[in-house]
Structure 1
Amino acid sequence: MQLPLFPLQLYLLPGGISKLRIFEPRYTRLVKLAMASGEGFGLCMKDSETLCHFGTRAIITDFERLPDGLLGVTVKGVEKFVINEHWQEDDGLRFGDITLMKNWSPTLMKFADRDIANSLRALFEEYPEHATNYPIPDYEDMTWVCQRWLEILPLETNQKQWFMSRRDHRAALSFLHNIIDEQLKKE
């Protein structure tokens, strides 16, 4: 599959929602291509000037004209992918030949994981700007909870890429247990 690519420091996983401001002509073109094809575009991170190996196919769910006259788009992560090769066209827009990856399967919360889900709920209550994108949060699905935590936490690009390469949420869940359980012990 070939997709136009949008390199950003934004880490968006399947089910994740974010708002973007579009101001460069090449990304206006990306929006047009994504809307016309219905397949969306590839959201991928950069490590300095190099595109990272893994990304997320995103679709545009809404758009608006912002007060400053720029185009605002709301995007939702659909599925992860790996970039096989990429190239840049004359206007600077990048494209990639990608292979889609299987999404992490939904997983019901276990009693032992309740603190991780409750901590995310508390964070969303304290910082409603994170919660506004999720009018119906799924705190019972630990895959959803892990993905939202990974999007929010200030991790290094290589750490985010490593989690993205995993086949399921278990590595992320273990990582979150280490962080959140330790924090709860301190309180």
Structure 2
Amino acid sequence: MTADIPTTDIPLFPLQAVLFPGGLLSLKVFEARYLDLMSACLRENKPFGVVALRQGGEVRKPGEPVALEGTGTLAELIDVDSAQPGILQVRCRGTRRFGVNRMHQQADGLWLAAVEMLADDEVSLPVDAMIETVRGLANAIATLKQQGAEPFLKPFLFDNAGWVANRWCEILPISLAAKQKLMELPDAAVRLQLVDEFLRSKGVVK
């Protein structure tokens, strides 16, 4: 779905969150600009870009300065529910990362950006030293499921270093800026190594 995205304007959805490739994103959409955006994405079967906010809030406030990160992730719609009038519950899947070349804001507040697609993580097995971190993720998923939470999309790819690293990054109690830096890393093995070091420093992995 995202293989042929040109480096032309794509709509952006700024959030106080970082979307990783393969990640699940749930949104409650109620602002007119984003209701229109979701309708267009559904109608045209197109993705939109998710970027983290460096400054400003998710809800538009007149005169509030807004600054967006320069790297984001495309999101494709999985399902849309309009149980309440004027509100959409949306679930999306993160696909490819992109770098923003330039951006501008429309009169209605919607951001558009000319982007360049970034390389996907190379698929590689986690090295033997990361096995406990892989097991730790499997245990975390089982625990979350017992608590009624299922934050990850199937299939679970425990044999993919990038997938394991990304899923850990989504649930680690680290800052938005730290998650952004991890998402931007071009080497999945390095991302997983950093996650492993953090988990060991906290005693989560021995």
Q: Same fold (TM over 0.5)?
A: yes
Does residue 148 (structure 1) correspond to residue 167 (structure 2)? The answer is yes
Query: Aligned with 1:177: secondary structure?
Result: helix
Helix, strand or coil at the partner of 1:127:
helix
| Other-structure match for 1:159 | 178
> Which of 34, 37, 42 matches 1:27?
34
**Partner Cα separation in structure 1 for residue 96 and residue 204 of structure 2:** 35
- Report deviation, 1:79: 0.3
Contact kept? 1:163, 1:171, Cα under 8 Å? no
Is the 8 Å Cα contact of residues 165 and 192 (structure 2) preserved in structure 1? Answer: yes
Residues 32 and 67 (structure 1 numbering): CA distance in 2 closer, same or farther, change over 3 Å?
A: closer
Aligned to 1:84: 101
Q: TM-score, normalised by structure 1?
A: 0.89
Equivalent residue in structure 1 for 2:201, among 154, 167, 182: 182
Tell me: CA distance 1:58–1:186, structure 2 relative to 1, closer, same or farther (3 Å).
closer
Q: Please name the residue that 1:4 is paired with.
A: 11
Cα deviation, residue 144, structure 1: 0.3
Gaps of 5+ in 2: 1-6, 56-65
The runs of at least 4 consecutive aligned structure 1 residues that moved more than 6 Å come to none
Further displaced range: 168-177 or 121-130: 121-130
Q: Which amino acid is 1:42 matched to?
A: G
Question: Which residue of the other structure, out of 66, 78, 98, is the alignment partner of 1:61?
Answer: 78
Query: Cα RMSD between the aligned structures?
Result: 2.1
Moved more, 53-62 or 147-156: 147-156
What letter matches 2:68 in structure 1? L
Q: Is the 8 A contact 2:18 2:180 kept in 1?
A: no
Q: What is the percentage of aligned positions where both structures have the same residue?
A: 26
Query: Quick one: structure 1 residues 117 and 156, their matched pair in 2 at CA, closer, same or farther if it must change by over 3 Å?
Result: same
Give the Cα separation in 1 of the matches to 2:164 and 2:154: 14
1:175 deviates by: 1.1
Report what 2:61 is aligned to.
none
Supply the distance in 1 between the matched residues of 2:103 and 2:134 (Cα, whole angstroms). 37
Alpha-carbon distance in 1 for matches of 2:205, 2:127: 23
Q: Normalised by the size of structure 2, how large is the TM-score?
A: 0.82
Give deviations 1:75-122, integer Å, cap 9, x for gaps.
Answer: 011100111111111111111111110111121133221111111111
- How far did 1:68 drift? 7.5
> Contact 1:42–1:55 at 8 Å: present in 2 too?
yes
Partner residue, 2:60: none
Aligned length: 187
Q: 2:190 aligns with which of 160, 171, 178?
A: 171
Partner of 2:23: 16
Counterpart for residue 129 of structure 2: 112
1:97 aligns with 2:123: no
